[in-house]
Chains A and B, each alone.
Chain A
Amino acid sequence: MSTGIPNNRLRLLERAKRALPALNPALESLLAGIVGLLVGALIMWIGGYDPWKAYVALFRGAYRDMYGFASSLARGTPLILTALTFSICMRAGMFNIGAEGQVYGGALAAVTVGYFALPSGLHIIMGLIFAMLAGAAWSLVPALLKLTRGVHEVISTIMFNWIARFFAFYLVANVLVDPIRAEKTISVPASARLPILVHGTDLSYGLFVSVFFALVIYFLLWHTTAGYELRAAGLNPTAAHYGGIKSKRTMLLSFILGGLGAGLAGATIVMGLPPTYAIYSGLPQLANVGFDGMAVAMVGRNHPIGILIAALFFGGMNAGGRMMQIIAGVPLEMVRVVEGIIVVALAIPELVRLFRFFRNRWRSLRRREPA
């Protein structure tokens, strides 16, 4: 090489250059995040609030101290799992919108451990297993419907969300109801609760469960043959089919894995969230966990590592939003607005390219003007 840069350092540079496109998705998410925050600030300003004060309160509440950080993680824990539900199936080329209903199933199943007694560790494991099985079962039926009758999974999973919702209402009010307090189910007994990780917060060991699941999925999808087949099916369904890979089995696998994750999410809420450890009538703690998970999945670019980061972000928005409400007086629905805009912004592919395009046009326009 005729350049003055030593050989090994050049190689590093080459490597970094090659890695850059891989960062593109992350860059897009970042850009979308900025767009979301800006539009949110605009809306706040129109509404008569102080956006700067609000955002400062938001981010400090979410990340400044251990308490805030733990709260953010706690909020993000179930989101990691429901995001994975969506992403695993997305990677396989399917739209699984059913996380919402699968979470209900998982939560209901987890509550049932209250009906029998076991030593603590075993009790927790039983709860998690019940929840996973319930979630997977609920996810399996739409998958089977697609396989056997060609039912589009978007429709079937939406239907199943609603059926699960009403079925859950029925179970919560009539079957699993707490005999003393009619507005909730029986509580998960102390032996089956996920212990609190950071004292004085609501972060439980459910975090480890979520992260562990995420890592398992990462390993499964990127380092096993079955995982490779799954991702290949998503990238090019026709080729995967003709390549002799069993696309049907792949699809089933993706739905089952997704259902396991969603069921687990229900368990982390019911077994991990103080102070009640039960399901309330109307399902308020479980509502929207599935849908928010989808947003997390998109921001996390459907990759387990990205999802972990995105879940921390969304969880932080949620936890910080509470402080924003107290300190800046901004209603926490603002958080939803920002999230929605971020997601819409992400819907535009290659947002970065669009951004560059506009920037170049602006530059060329300016260059035409006389100096």
Chain B
Amino acid sequence: MSWSYLWSILLISLHAMVPITLTAVGEIFGETAGLFNIGLEGILLVSAFTGALAAESGGAVIGLLTGMGTGALIGFIFSVINTYWKGNQMITGIGINLFALGFVAFGLIVLGAPGFHAVPAESRLVTIRTPVGSISPIILVALALPFAAHWFLKRTRLGLILKATGESPEAADVAGIRVNLVRLLATTFGGVLAGLAGAYISVAWIGSVTKEISAGRGFISLATVVFSGLNPVLALLGGFIFGFFESLATWIRNLPGSKAVPWQFIAMTPYIVTLLVVAGVIGRVRFPKALGKPYIRE
């Protein structure tokens, strides 16, 4: 093993970390406020698609913005259904995932290139060259954002309001906080980040859209949120761990010689680690009391 191997693994890990961390931080906002969005996978998928399309006509930045807008839209619909319309969050989320799978595949076919659509090189986001390889500027965003989010949630009044709506919406309501509005904004913001993550995948990282481009990363983000205990900085760590093990598993498979360690077990590791964290083997995790329940004013 030489240094170049390690750098290579590190870089791949950083790239893989971005969508997971971004989505997880967004979901932390939503869950802190009390809404559980299992439809993240769907948001990732649709934003990757719309982001790629927009990037082709307007350039990479437009692509990323479109992805964010898409995520905001879906997040908005999700939160409206689950706040003002008192819907069921699980069911809405599952519906979004189903819809996204069909919509993206359908959209790809309508565009004439079924199954896959490449984003041309000019429409890709610029990369920053470093001595050991190129990284995307979004990686820097993903590294900085969790700290900003953590500060926001812990130290600002708005962050406190968010927590209140998640912990005890009745008390928050009495205190004059508009619970449903706060939840709406929080989850829509979560959608924005997930949308950015999705567009990142197609515009800045992999450079193409297939009907399964999200590859389960939405669910991995949910796991990361749990792992982080709703702490954005830990979500950064969690995202990196997932990205690391994912690239490690690929690496092991591509080493010369005998395939001693089955890669499938390495790929399993992040999920097992998350389970251990949640089970309290490694630290305990607390969720807001009112998470997952619609707020109905008595």
Contact = CB atoms under 8 A, between A and B. Distances in A.
Interface string A340-356: 11111111110000100
Interface string B96-121: 11111111011101100010000000
Given A151-B278, A159-B274, A349-B87, A338 B94 contact: no
Contacts of B287: 152
Contact of B97 (A47, A338, A340, A345): A340
Contact of A159 (B38, B91, B92, B223): B223
Contacts of B160: none
B30 to A, nearest CB: 14
Contact of B96 (A151, A166, A344): A344
A170 interface: yes
A331 B265 CA distance: 36
Interface string A36-50: 000000010001100
Identify which of B91, B98, B264 gathers the most chain A CB atoms within 10 Å of its CB: B98
Contacts of A344: 81, 91-92, 95-96, 99
B106 A337 contact: yes
B88 interface: yes
Contacts of B272: 159, 163
Interface string B195-225: 0000000000000000100001001101100
A167 interface: yes
A348 B106 CA distance: 25
B82 to A, nearest CB: 8
Contact of B271 (A163, A173, A174, A334): A163
Given A149-B279, A155-B226, A169-B264, A343 B90 contact: no
Interface residues on B, range: 35 or more
B276 to A, nearest CB: 10
A36 to B, nearest CB: 9
Interface in B271-287: 271-272, 274-275, 278-280, 287
Contact of B98 (A48, A158, A173, A339): A339
Interface in A210-237: none
B85 interface: yes
Interface in A154-188: 154-156, 158-163, 166-167, 169-170, 173-174
Interface string B167-197: 0000000000000000000000000000000
A170 B262 contact: yes
B149 interface: no
B158 interface: no
A145 B279 contact: yes
Given A48-B110, A331-B105, A339-B102, A162 B94 contact: no
A155 B98 contact: no
A335 B102 CA distance: 7
A365 B179 CA distance: 31
Contacts of B216: 162
Interface in B47-91: 81-82, 85-91
A244 B175 CA distance: 37
Interface residues of A, number: 49
A54 to B, nearest CB: 12
A295 B94 contact: yes
B91 A331 contact: no
B221 to A, nearest CB: 11
Given A155-B222, A333-B106, A294 B99 contact: no
Contacts of B97: 291, 340
A280 interface: no
A340 B222 contact: no
A159 B280 CA distance: 15
Contacts of B96: 340, 344
B219 A174 contact: no
Contact of A291 (B89, B98, B105, B278): B98
A132 interface: no
B267 interface: yes
A340 B275 contact: no
A298 B106 CA distance: 24
B109 A331 contact: yes
B148 interface: no
A158 B222 CA distance: 9
A343 B95 contact: yes
A43 B98 contact: no
A170 B102 contact: no
A60 interface: no
A347 B106 contact: no
Nearest to B110: A47
Contacts of A156: 275, 278
Contact of A158 (B100, B106, B219, B264): B219
25 contacts: A95-B90, A149-B280, A151-B278, A155-B222, A155-B274, A156-B275, A159-B223, A161-B219, A162-B219, A163-B268, A170-B262, A292-B98, A295-B95, A298-B94, A333-B106, A334-B102, A339-B98, A340-B100, A341-B99, A342-B95, A343-B94, A347-B88, A348-B86, A349-B87, A349-B88
Interface of A: 43, 47-48, 95, 97, 145, 149-152, 154-156, 158-163, 166-167, 169-170, 173-174, 291-292, 294-295, 298, 331, 333-349, 354
Given A161-B219, A162-B268, A344-B92, 14 more contacts: A151-B280, A155-B278, A156-B278, A159-B271, A163-B275, A167-B264, A340-B103, A342-B95, A343-B92, A343-B98, A343-B99, A344-B95, A346-B91, A354-B85
- In the A-B complex, the 5 residue pairs with the closest CB atoms: A340-B99, A336-B102, A343-B95, A340-B98, A344-B95
